[in-house]
Amino acid sequence: MQRTTSSKLCGVGIVLLALSPAPMFAGGYGIVTTSDIRNASSVLSIFESHKTNRGLNVHVFDETDWGGGGLTGDAASEALRDFLKIAQPQHNLDYLLIIGDPRQSTGPVPMKTLHPRNPDDGSSFTKIPVLSDYYYADMDGNWDLDGDGEYGEFGDITGDFGAGGIDRNHELYVGRIPVYGDSNSPSLFAQSVADLDHILSKTMAYQTATNISWREHVLIAAEGGNRLFYGEQIKEDLLDPNGISEYRVYDSAGITLPDPPDATTCSIPNVKAGWDATTPGVVTWLTHGGGTGAAAVMNSSTAATLDDNFPVMTWQASCHNSDPDNVNNLSYQLLINGGIATVGFTEISHGPGSEVDLTSDWHISGIAGLGYGYISRIALDQLTVGQALMELKRDSTLFNRCWYWHNHVGANLYGDPEVSLFDHGSLAVPEPACLGLIVAALVMLAPLRIRRRPGLS
């Protein structure tokens, strides 16, 4: 799977209006989940039909297919990956959507515990565990090559990067929709399944919307004057040359810029005001972070007030926003309301804290450099979010830095990996047997339909 670059002669705003209906894609789309979720969800089967109508060969699996019942932690991760090693080539799978609880304590589809920062390679960093779905993207590498029981360690000699180990050549484009809880926490599980059905319905509406011109805007936020370079390089290198409009929220008081930002104080109210005013298709930021908030930019409670009729794609360059152990983590809350596909970090993330060239090998795998590369791929190269994230990880230089590998492992996608900023069109005419399902889907999608603005088609 090689990265392809589309023509950049015209801006996204023009491209969005000129695109023909979304093409049909041949390929395999796998969904791994639990039997409890399959039984509880009222939309998952409709979502399967939606993906089939897009030309994908859809296969749904649960723990009964790989003997994962009762497994948690690393045992569950290993059982799932061993199954995927067989299922991926057998069904020619390109995309993998994991639907289930990401926590290690709850099976059978948890994230894998990895140990990317390796002090054994001479670095000064303490080794800490990082939960990640990246492990399920690579089917042929041994991520415990040195046999010490700590998977995903950086390094050729003391780590897992030698011949036969981690090679970063993915076989699957992976995303996850978290569903928290099980029979031991029925109220949490019931609410999470209801949120799943909403996310699936919203995803179908996004991919079949007829008016997508609102997606041409990008909102950028940077907390602290030392971080606004992130937004300026994205604006000057990616957005301006391609006619893409932006809304910038910076801490820039006393800083002279050729083109002043829309707000000179970075704060949650100012970000929310810009979000409401511009209905952006993409939102990104650079700031400190925690499980339920990005400092001076966004938090889980504000996310609940966003307009979900115009859901965004995010790159959240801040620590812990996708912490799977926090059931209210910001990335997940945005996926429920305000977002269509969110990328954040499950653990702490690294640099830069001051201005650097985001296109240089030295800095391309810092969280800001990765954000720059991700936005380029989804907005200019027109890749799906799953393609963009996995190909970004494959192609970005690690520059012999274990903390850059830590960033790659920690960046995870919440949402359908097959979604693209350019998705639009309408469902194919269904077979008569599917008509009842489609009618039911349309009824459920009615509250989510994109509002039509005067003068826009």
In the predicted model, what is the mean pLDDT of residues 132-154? 95
15 pLDDT band (50/70/90 cuts)?
A: very low
pLDDT of residue 457 exceeding 50, the answer is no
**Same fold? 24-208, 213-414:** yes
Top-confidence residue, 353 or 100 = 100
pLDDT number for residue 155 = 87
Average pLDDT of the segment spanning 383-394: 98
State yes or no: pLDDT of 432 exceeds 60.
no
What is the spatial distance between Cα 244 and Cα 37, in angstroms, rounded to a whole number?
A: 40
Helix axes of 186-208 and 435-445: crossing angle, nearest 10 degrees = 100
In sequence order, the β-bridge partners of residue 30 are: 59, 96
| DSSP code at position 263 | B
78 pLDDT higher than 70: yes
- pLDDT at residue number 456: 25
Question: Comparing 83-92, 224-233, 441-450, which segment has the lowest mean pLDDT?
Answer: 441-450
Please give the mean pLDDT across all residues of the chain: 88
Query: How much is the pLDDT for 187?
Result: 97
Mean pLDDT calculated for residue range 430-444: 40
pLDDT in tens, 302-328: 999 999 999 999 999 999 999 999 999
pLDDT of residue 9 exceeding 50: no
Which of 371, 421, 419, 413 is CA-nearest to residue 396?
Answer: 371
Is the distance from CB of 342 to CB of 334 less than 8 angstroms? Answer: yes
Residues 6+ apart with CB under 8 A from 377: 3, 383, 387, 388, 391, 392
- Model confidence pLDDT, tens digit, residues 243-300: 999 999 999 999 999 999 999 999 999 999 999 999 999 999 999 999 999 999 999 9
The whole-model pTM stands at 0.88
| Per-residue pLDDT at 125 | 76
The pLDDT value recorded for residue 158 is 80
**Whether the Cβ atoms of residue 253 and residue 270 lie closer than 8 Å to each other:** no
CA–CA separation, 310 and 293 (whole Å): 21
How is the chain split into domains, by residue range? Answer: 24-208, 213-414
**Predicted pLDDT at 4:** 32
Q: Which fold has domain 24-208?
A: Rossmann fold (3.40.50)
Q: Are strands 93-100 and 173-178 parallel, antiparallel or unpaired?
A: parallel
What is the pLDDT averaged over residues 37-62?
A: 98
pLDDT of 53 strictly over 50: yes
Average pLDDT over residues 23-46: 90
Q: Taking residues 238-242, report their average pLDDT.
A: 98
Say which range, 67-71, 351-355, 432-436, has the weakest mean pLDDT. Answer: 432-436
Q: Which of 451, 392, 421 is nearest to 15 (CA)?
A: 421
Using alpha carbons, list the distances in angstroms from residue 337 to 203, 249, 331.
12, 21, 10
CA angle 297, 299, 304 (to 5 degrees): 120
For residue 120, name the pLDDT band (cuts at 50, 70, 90): low
Band of the pLDDT at 437, cuts 50, 70, 90? very low
**In the prediction, which pLDDT does 449 show?**
31
Q: How far apart are CA 123 and CA 115, in angstroms?
A: 14
Q: Report the CATH fold assignment for 213-414.
A: Rossmann fold (3.40.50)
Indicate the burial class of 273 (C-beta count within 10 angstroms; 0-12, 13-18, 19 or more). Answer: middle
pLDDT at residue 163 tops 60: yes
Q: ∠ CA(381), CA(387), CA(388), 5° rounding?
A: 55
pLDDT score at 122: 60
Q: What is the phi/psi pair of residue 3, to 5°?
A: -70, 135
